[in-house]
A = this chain, B = another copy of it.
Amino acid sequence: MLGYFGPPGTFTHQALLTFSDAPAKPYATVSGALDAVRSGEVEAALVPIENSVEGGVSVTLDSLSNGHRLMIIREVLLPVQFSLYGRPGTTLASVRKVLTHPHAAAQCRDWLAANLPAALVTEGGSTAAAAAEVADPSSRYDAAVCADVAGEMYGLQKLAGGIADNEAAVTRFVLVAPPGKPPQPTGADKTTLVAYMFADHPGALLEILEQFAGRGVNLCRIESRPTKTGLGDYCFSIDAEGHLRDPRLAEAMLGLHRICKMVVFLGSYPRADGVRPDVARGFADEDFLDAREWYNTLVQPSGD
């Protein structure tokens, strides 16, 4: 069985339904979902990892890097679509108190300011929980900003749709499993990892980036994350183009391992957008093979 960051009706739930309609188990927190993978309670769990408005989802990035190792085996992209839902009979004009999740509040800030300037917006644990709370007739909240699936699930009435300020917003989810052999390379893969610098080494990030740039590997995402020991002590959460078995990425990983305090490999998996990398001259798989063959003839000339 799969797990996901719930409750039912969250965007993560919607994302899960795009590739599986088997029964799945919701968890109240991202950490809870990941711990369920670690304990074997579920085979794998879907959690949000990156949001085009808020950036990386801190709790996911941190839960993945800490604790027993896990491995990302799939990614899913979902357009962000928010609506405003109230109890049946509510009108937009009568809304005074809105409940939602902080990311949803941030992504609808302009719409709320323009259309409900007087309303008080409260931020709770999830948009689905907000819909559930609003559905309770004794609730002090009039409306919830949530996904349509949640509004409908709790029998609410849609007061306004498409209220996200940025219509191009997308959320990225990852399916996380216990560590194992990564899926086969497809030619359009992504690799996720966390690199911990040695302390007090100002040029460390530059060196980390050079490990990739020097092997022709582009990065899709890089975020500094504090390592929780003091201000200014950071690690880097990175998505790189390519698969652990691609020679250019393999060499970059080997290089990182040598210069970093620690590298946590979080998986190589097919890209949801299927985009294949532009590989510069000298960095294709054949180039690595050719170089290796040439090297072998130098070290061990034929006939010797």
Contacts and interface: CB of A to CB of B under 8 A. Distances in A.
Interface of A: 50-55, 58-59, 77, 102, 106, 122-125, 166, 168-170, 172, 179-182, 198, 202-203, 205-206, 209-211, 213-214, 218-226, 228-234, 244-245, 250-251, 253-255, 257-259, 263, 265, 281-283, 287-288, 290-292, 294-295, 298-301, 304
Contacts of A172: 231
Contact of A304 (B181, B198, B223, B250): B181
Contacts of A263: 294
Contacts of A224: 55, 221-224
B218 A202 contact: yes
A231 B52 contact: yes
Contacts of A282: 258-259
Identical copies in the complex = 4
B205 A51 contact: no
Contacts of A51: 226
Contact of A258 (B50, B253, B287): B287
5 contacts: A53-B226, A102-B102, A181-B300, A202-B218, A205-B219
A123 B125 contact: yes
B221 A210 contact: no
A202 B280 CA distance: 12
Contacts of A55: 58, 224-226, 234
Nearest to A303: B180
Contacts of A211: 214
Contacts of A221: 224, 231-232, 234
Given A225-B55, A258-B283, A283-B258, A210 B220 contact: no
A245 to B, nearest CB: 6
The CB with the most chain B CB atoms within 10 A, among A170, A228, A231, A291, is that of: A231
A200 to B, nearest CB: 10
B50 A54 contact: no
A251 B6 CA distance: 47
A301 B170 contact: no
A134 B202 CA distance: 45
B166 A231 contact: no
Contacts of A123: 124-125
A202 B213 CA distance: 9
A166 B206 contact: no
Contacts of A218: 202
Contacts of A232: 220-221
A58 B52 contact: no
A214 to B, nearest CB: 5
A189 to B, nearest CB: 13
A237 B263 CA distance: 24
